[in-house]
Amino acid sequence: MPLTKLNLGFIGGGVIAEAILSGLIRSGLNPQGFFVSEIKDSRLTYLSHKLGINPVRNNFDLVKNCDIIILAVKPAVVKEVMLEIGQEIKAEQTLISLAAGITTGFVAQFMPEPRAVVRVMPNTPVLVGEGACAYCLGTHTQDKDKERVRAIFESAGKTVEVPESLIDVVTGLSGSGPAYMYLIIESFASAGVRLGLPKEEALILSAQTMLGAAKMVLETGEHPAKLKDEVTTPGGTTAAGLFSLEEGSLRAIIMRAVEKAALRAHELRK
Ligand SMILES: NC(=O)c1ccc[n+]([C@@H]2O[C@H](COP(=O)([O-])OP(=O)(O)OC[C@H]3O[C@@H](n4cnc5c(N)ncnc54)[C@H](OP(=O)(O)O)[C@@H]3O)[C@@H](O)[C@H]2O)c1
């Protein structure tokens, strides 16, 4: 069944719920199909005014009204919410958890069997329709659950399926990734400014270069090493710049950063 025929509800209307809702609405979906329940009235008013979604006063009513329920509360609140709604989830509904570090098994224990949980690790560029999201399927998930999660997150970017054992790696790569990319964009812009470019122009050139390179990888399907090779003239400017990056061990630094973040995600679960 297409997403347009299903009601989608968020429990928790914070940063990530707003980003996903904005991305979905931007993709052309009708906000009247979206519901949010939140403990803060001010947040509900803000989201309904800004996005035109349906505010719901309590989590229980949201579960009664929605085909897909997205848990978008902080990890520490998941147990409390599941104790409240877990027994109300029906087999034809799909429960999606966004909570970092919370396993599908943990969420499923609050529901009668056989109920499905899908765990998703999104990132904030869903706001502009360019999210990089990964999902894993818990036990009892059916084709309909997979179709629904893909339909939602493909409306707001790109989505891949991974085994649950690799979700921490996803957190370290694409979950935390936007912050790394912002740092790189900022650094390139600063380099331009240092060498005399006006700030605004340096930032546009830096950010657009990252966007363009990413599109080249995704749209040509070529490996980045081949694309890099194609723009590197022997003895030229790019070769000189690349040598400097290799000399500074850029590759190893980035690999270490993703490893550190993945380990941190693992630690936070304990
Ligand atoms: N932000 C990201 O980039 C990102 C990325 C990937 C995954 N996630 C995951 O997404 C989840 C939400 O993150 P977030 O950054 O959006 O958090 P957030 O901004 O704190 O949003 C959660 C919202 O839920 C509300 N809430 C708390 N208890 C509730 C309850 N019992 N019923 C309904 N609403 C309740 C919170 O209100 P109070 O503030 O009053 O508690 C808050 O407004 C987290 O589990 C996080 O791990 C976030």
> Is 193's C-beta closer than 6 angstroms to any atom of ligand 1?
no
Q: Which atom of ligand 1 is nearest to the CA of 11?
A: 33
pLDDT at 270: 67
Q: Is 116 in the same domain as 45?
A: yes
pLDDT at 55: 96
> Is 98's C-beta closer than 6 angstroms to any atom of ligand 1?
yes
Q: 70 C-alpha to center of ligand 1: Å?
A: 11
For 247, the domain range is 177-269
Q: Is 262 in the same domain as 137?
A: no
- The verdict on residue 211 lying in a domain is yes
Q: 224 C-alpha to center of ligand 1: Å?
A: 36
- The verdict on residue 137 lying in a domain is yes
Q: 223 C-alpha to center of ligand 1: Å?
A: 37
Task: For a ligand 1 pocket test, name from 21, 35, 37, 39 the mutation site with the most ligand atoms within 8 angstroms of its C-beta.
Answer: 39
> Is 63's C-beta closer than 6 angstroms to any atom of ligand 1?
no
Q: Is 126 in the same domain as 30?
A: yes
Query: Over the chain (270 residues), what is each successive 10-residue block's mean pLDDT?
Result: 88 95 93 96 96 95 96 95 96 94 94 92 94 95 95 95 96 96 98 98 98 98 98 98 97 97 85
pLDDT at 91: 92
Sheet containing strand 117-121, strands side by side: 54-56, 34-37, 8-11, 68-71, 94-97, 117-121, 131-137, 157-161
Q: Is 20 in the same domain as 135?
A: yes
Q: 14 C-alpha to center of ligand 1: Å?
A: 5
- The verdict on residue 172 lying in a domain is no
Q: Is 128 in the same domain as 257?
A: no
> Is 171's C-beta closer than 6 angstroms to any atom of ligand 1?
no
CATH number reported for the structural domain that contains residue 82 in this entry: 3.40.50.720
What is the domain count for the chain? 2
